[in-house]
Amino acid sequence: MGYAFSLDDVAYLRSDAGCAALSAVADLPLTPESRLADVAAARRVAPEKFAAVLETALLRRRAVGRVDLVDGLYTADALQQATASAVARHRASRFAGRVVHDVTCSVGADLSALPVGSIGSDLDPVRLAMAAHNNPGRVLLRADALRPVSRGTAVLADPARRDSGGRRTWRPADFLPPLDELAAAYRDRDLAVKCAPGVDFAVAPWADEVELVSLDGSVREACLWTRGLATPGVTRRATVLRSEGPQWTVTDADPDDCPVTDPDEWLIDPDGAVVRAGLVRHYAARFGLAQVDERIAYLTGPTPPPGIRAFRVVEHGHYTEKALRAVLKAHDVGRLEILVRGLDIDPNTLRRRLKPTGTAEYSVVLTRIGRRPTYLLAHATRT
């Protein structure tokens, strides 16, 4: 849960004295081992507010590389839910030319990426005070997201996804505020709702377009777009962002002509956003690939797409543990990555049983092709 900040804490942290105290503790180790020494140092510079100062210094350190707010103020929960800046900027680009009302703005991390003139609101006065620090010049209101207080703007919402016990919740009715109530409150407005990628999109029939977004290979969010924010003719989209390298998107309006063939020279595991959005065939058609099985998300082809981790196939065949052990021995395999899809096999348990003792490094993909369990021995590489 982290430290429970008060409005008085936020006022202090924004003051000259608070800024000086934060500067004084910025270089402390802030590790479990150094905790006693860190607390003593913080007490010397902020006797009454040392806990707020230390927590802020720690959260700022955690925010580096994730959130682009310079000298930001956060709560632990707010930082955990904050969108990575690269993802927030991508989402904000779809609001280009619009004024947006972020109705669950929290500490304002996502608000900072939205177009000039956009506003934020939240029920939590402490988070609003932090949002004011993080977004100087923005209009901020204390308001319930389910009771609209603006007109004529597009609307962005990011419902909380943890219950009071700190457990993740995935049912839309468990979000705060609930997804269906948000949709009803803004039924006549252009609405975008940020969701966890694991949510069941079938329970949000009001969403005109569902976009899955990944960053550097990790699926970060789903965004439900409605009305004028959705792309005509598109109901599902996968957007793949990279800190470095190509960025691209694929939709269900793209061609999906994709053959099913035996494994070719390369095996490709599509980005998780593509898989979660159900766009494996569209991705395959985009890059001239084929499926190895209609129900399995592995693809194959003579040339892998750029900017991904792909597997150059050395050999493949019918999988049994005995057959795989012989293959590993024949190739002098010692370091082994095991990937499984479509088979009930635990990679860690299997590795312990195989006990590879060679010197070579390989990856093995275990999957099902038709009804046949299959192994593919391969070298992983970054294209």
Classify domain 80-241 at the CATH topology level.
Rossmann fold (3.40.50)
State the pLDDT at residue 245.
Answer: 74
3-state secondary structure of 373: strand
Residue 286, pLDDT above cutoff 50: yes
Closest residue by Cα to residue 102 from 193, 217, 8, 211: 193
The candidate with the shortest Cα–Cα distance to 276, out of 215, 340, 222, 209, is 222
pLDDT of 136 above 70: yes
pLDDT for 170: 61
pLDDT tier for residue 383 given thresholds of 50, 70 and 90:
confident
**Residue 187: which pLDDT band, with cuts at 50, 70 and 90?**
very high
Q: What is the pLDDT of residues 161-176, one digit of tens each?
A: 755 454 554 667 778 8
* β 360-369/333-341 pair status: parallel
Task: Count CA atoms within 13 Å of residue 82 on its CB side.
Answer: 34
Q: Say what percent of the chain tops pLDDT 70.
A: 97
- Whether residue 237 has pLDDT greater than 50: yes
Domain ranges of the chain: 7-64, 80-241, 266-382
pLDDT tens sequence across 70-117 = 899 999 999 999 999 999 999 999 999 999 999 999 999 999 999 999
